Amino acid sequence: MIKSWIFANLLLFLLLTLLWVVSRKKKDVSIVDPAWSIGIIFQPIVIFLFQPEKTLFQLLVLVLAGIWALRLSGYLIYRNWGKGEDKRYAEMRLNDPHFDQTSLFKIFWFQGLLMTLVALPLNLMMGWGIFFHFWLLIPLVVAITGLIWEVVADMQLVEFKQDPKNKGLILDTGLWGLSRHPNYFGEFVFWWGIFGVSLPLFWYVTWVSPVLMSFLLLKVSGVTLLDRHLRDKKGFSVYESKIPPFFPTFFPKR
């Protein structure tokens, strides 16, 4: 387990370094965003392949996480295609004259560290092995529910944005009428479900994964950041007053 984990980490950081080289040529650090979910699933895949003994339940969990990773990466590529560098990175580039060099540590390797922490439950499940128990169906269903919630929310948003009549407006129907960020809520539920599946293994370590993901979604690159951008849109103050930011309500204010 330890050797395969070290090898997976070294390989991950090597690939992130190569991606940084590509970003320098393109002058676009945003290419790291679709790599986020792929980097998280990369380590458990490598660890799983190195194990001499594998279980069907391990494979099931790995496939579920793989679906999450490929779906999110594909969605981000679709959403960002042809839009140039993200505003967050563009601002950092303006404020740092050496951004081409420092982005390796500030963006790519830092995200590599976060990927490693988020992947902890998966890495341990793939390395130490985990067998199916009936009670594990509960967190497994939670994870699947979170994934479905996230997928449906993103599909509703894509459909909304494809209609020219909705330009400059805010989506407040479907799952988006239950919370302002249902896609992030689905992500939150997914990772707490994965943590629940891994509970038999070193729970006093793996809790870092869902807590870190929750912090990122609520305070860093999720709710706080996106609400800041939404404030410029028509009707946001009314939308904000009746729809909760994260946890859904099934009785929204009229």
- Answer yes or no: is pLDDT of 252 > 70: no
Q: What is the pLDDT of residues 5-19, one digit of tens each?
A: 889 999 999 999 999
Residues 251 and 217 grouped into a single domain: yes
Residues 68 and 82 grouped into a single domain: yes
Mean pLDDT of the 53-75 span: 94
The count of domains in the chain is 2
Mean pLDDT of the 31-36 span: 92
Residues 70 and 138 grouped into a single domain: no
Residues 4 and 125 grouped into a single domain: yes
Q: What is the pLDDT of residues 141-176, one digit of tens each?
A: 999 999 999 999 999 999 998 888 888 788 888 999
Handedness of CA 95, 97, 100, 104 (dihedral sign): negative
In Å, the largest CA–CA distance within the chain is 58
79's CB contacts (< 8 A; 6+ apart) are: none
Q: Are 242 and 254 in contact (CB under 8 A)?
A: yes
Written as six digits, the tokens of 163 are: 């209609």
Residues 187 and 140 grouped into a single domain: yes
Give the residue numbers spanning the domain of 240.
133-254
Residues 190 and 87 grouped into a single domain: no
Q: What is the pLDDT of residues 173-189, one digit of tens each?
A: 899 989 989 999 999 99
Which of 98, 132, 166 is the last residue in one of the domains? 132
Residues 36 and 137 grouped into a single domain: no
Residues 100 and 221 grouped into a single domain: no
Mean predicted lDDT score pLDDT of the chain: 89
pLDDT value, residue 254: 55
**Among the listed residues 11, 120, 14, the one whose alpha carbon sits nearest the alpha carbon of residue 65:** 120
Which of 86, 114, 132 is the last residue in one of the domains? 132
pLDDT value, residue 1: 67
194's CB contacts (< 8 A; 6+ apart) are: 61, 65, 121, 122, 139, 143, 209, 210
- Tell me the whole-structure pTM to 2 decimals: 0.91
Q: Which amino acid is at 254?
A: R
Residues 31 and 54 grouped into a single domain: yes
**Where is pLDDT greater, at 189 or 200?**
189
Which of 132, 159, 176 is the last residue in one of the domains? 132
Q: What is the pLDDT of residues 210-224, one digit of tens each?
A: 999 999 998 887 777
**Among the listed residues 227, 134, 219, 143, the one whose alpha carbon sits nearest the alpha carbon of residue 179:** 227
- Whole-Å CA distances, 160 to 97, 129, 165: 39, 43, 9
Residues 169 and 78 grouped into a single domain: no
**Among the listed residues 29, 3, 2, 1, the one whose alpha carbon sits nearest the alpha carbon of residue 16:** 29
Residues 144 and 124 grouped into a single domain: no
For residue 133, name the pLDDT band (cuts at 50, 70, 90).
confident
Residues 250 and 176 grouped into a single domain: yes
